[in-house]
Structure 1
Amino acid sequence: MSTFGKLFRVTTYGESHCASVGAIIDGCPPGMELAPSDIQPQLSRRRPGQSNLTTPRDEKDLVQLQSGIEQGVTLGTPIGLLVRNEDQRPKDYSETDLYPRPSHADLTYLLKYDVKASSGGGRASARETIGRVAAGAIAEKYLRQAYGVEIVAFVTSVGKIHLTTSSATTASSEAENDDAEDPLSPEFVKLLSTITRQQVDSFTTRCPDSETSEKMTKRIIRAKEAMDSIGGTVTCVIRNSPVGLGEPVFDKFEAMLAHAMLSIPATKGFEIGSGFKGTEMPGSRHNDPYVARPNGTLGTSTNWSGGIQGGITNGENIYFRVGFKSPATISQPQGTAQYDGSSGTLAARGRHDPCVVPRAVPIVEAMAALVLMDQILIQLARKSASRLLPSLSHLPPSMVMPSKAVLKKFSEHPEAEEVAM
């Protein structure tokens, strides 16, 4: 479906080469100041034509707010927004009348709906993500103002070029190194706690390391010059998340993150916390021991869980990684079959990214914000309903929270404590 979320509901519309793309956002809290300038920076980070590493399609992606706001303040009613497609070239896709592009959605959309968009990838195109990014920017403003949440994503690999995250080495046999290295190096853990979007955007590749970024740039340009493409990964960290978010058992927080991330076009993998490297560690090293914080609250000493335990946020940094395949549409001639089954050679035209990960960074951030926003509203609803019930003071102390002060660290706002309880 085209709607994501339960209480903060986002419905996107539009195809790659239609008149406009956009979204309807339902459930945004009333009383928040909101202007196009709150949304445009993220859309500009996502837009095509940013550098020689992206598609040359020239779209400014200027957002227009249509409803749900008066005097620059949200009304609590649905917010409508749109972005016009200005640089359309549907004739660039005439080959797709005969050929389903390999690894694209041309054939599967036709098989599902018995009709498909005649130009581009239709709803499978990354143009659809404009509505997500705009909605995510609105959610982020609320999260930042209400809880001080910070969401930062950055590129950690392109092809076989990786930003070093761990000093771990692969053992030739289990007996040689049963106690695997930590899944993340201390330097990368520090990066997760300190990285900013300004630092990320100072590199064209959005990989925050000059040496690695330069290698990634050369790899992407090599793919572009060969009329080919290459994939990569994006890592994202959410800081200052309230505790208690996530709806076990089917809507655990990491399950919703996975749902959100794997709905992004071209995604092929998701891992959270220690991820697959954690499978190489014995439990004695992988467990996150609890430690007392200076303010009297409990935290963890390692956070290999990635800020989530039992499907519920615990207040530590939430971090995860998303894998993006090499873009399917390339201009290099490919032997393939036509719709009628006859063989032929397809050399697709059009303007496409040789690597999507630099532009995927704000999309990952947006989907993370939508998950967090929806889960916060769900938890607020639960706590508001719970407050109307009689006190549970008769229960043994082991069954109830001892004090609101226990979770005070997660926000200076009293309303945030309701979520954290």
Structure 2
Amino acid sequence: MVFRSQGGLLSLAILLLALCTPYSYAIRTYENEIKSAVFLSPKFVLGPGSVLDKHFYNVDFRIGHVALKSFTAEVIDEAGNLVPLHETYIHHWTIARYHQSKSVTHTETVTHIPDPYGIEIGNSAEIPAGYEEKWWNNVHAIDNRGVEDKLGCTECRCKCNLYNVTKDEYGQPLKPEYIGDFHCCHDGTQCRIREGFEGPRRSLYLRYTVKWVDRDRIVVPLKIYILDVTDNMKKSSGSSGKNPEHDCQIEYQVKPCSAAGRNDSGYTHVKRTSISIPYGGYVIYGVGHQHAGGIGTALYGEDGRVICSSVPIYGEGEEAGNEASYIVGMSTCYPQPGSVKINDGEVLTLESNCSSTKRNTGVMGVMYLYIAEQLPQSNRLSHSSFLW
């Protein structure tokens, strides 16, 4: 899957960047001009073992024509307390903009975009006549309190009667050999609870913090690409390659590897796919997205060069943001601006590595890229760089 946007999808526990200057550039920073706001999603209610996958439309996210610099999100209870992943597991969250007719009513990942770049939103020139810009929020959460198998619940395993689901979210029967992924843990499903466990239903919110600078500042806009290792990309018939057809499965399964079947990578399952980006540019930021069992993702250029390598950060405690056995963040890529360029139509190789010591379902291998079509105009100096 390739998603391209000038300001659209801000996703999944992931948005971005820190400053690194090449060539001794003189770059203005906006540290004293950054504004911020905190928003709450609509309330959602979960009981032990229950699953929510809701789409909220027209959510509160109106900050005008600006350039986003940072976007983070976390789950809180009604008292404003952070909720750890071992209690409420966020499978994913997404926020995106959409245009509606006026007549119709991971927490440790670095998320700062370096100056002078930003993600432009709220540009009235991009909104079709008769429409207005609104925001949509999707939250997919699994309540892990009291469940028999926390990993099995978060990996959405249909088998072993954890979910006992036989149909997907559209009412279509699942294949007999289907073991599990997000089709097993759709909205309203229930993961099996330990016998005798009782726990209250509770109200939760997704709290997201946004930072931005006003768009009248000189900001270089970024494009967003989301690459999926399950994408079986095909060139459209008669296509020049600018509009290929994508077939993303989103998640995949990893079978356990026996000692006899151990490969050169040890007990590691390696999945690769080739994807072309129609319109390239300079990579400003990159980060992977994986679930438990993930070992890392990497993106390679057509000539084999490493564009970005991102490895998971696993928690070691009980507190929110450091939950043991859960991926609480991913390492990020901040190449010197101008040092990593993807050419128009270049065929890239995305690689996802996952442990195969045991079966894993609901495995993901995604890479997010923020790309600038051109570098900021600046004066090249003969010695050290400076900021003002």
TM-score (norm 1): 0.30
Structure ranking higher on relative contact order (CA contacts 8 Å, 6+ apart): 2
TM-score (norm 2): 0.32
- More helix by proportion, 1 or 2? 1
Q: State the structure with more CA Rg.
A: 1
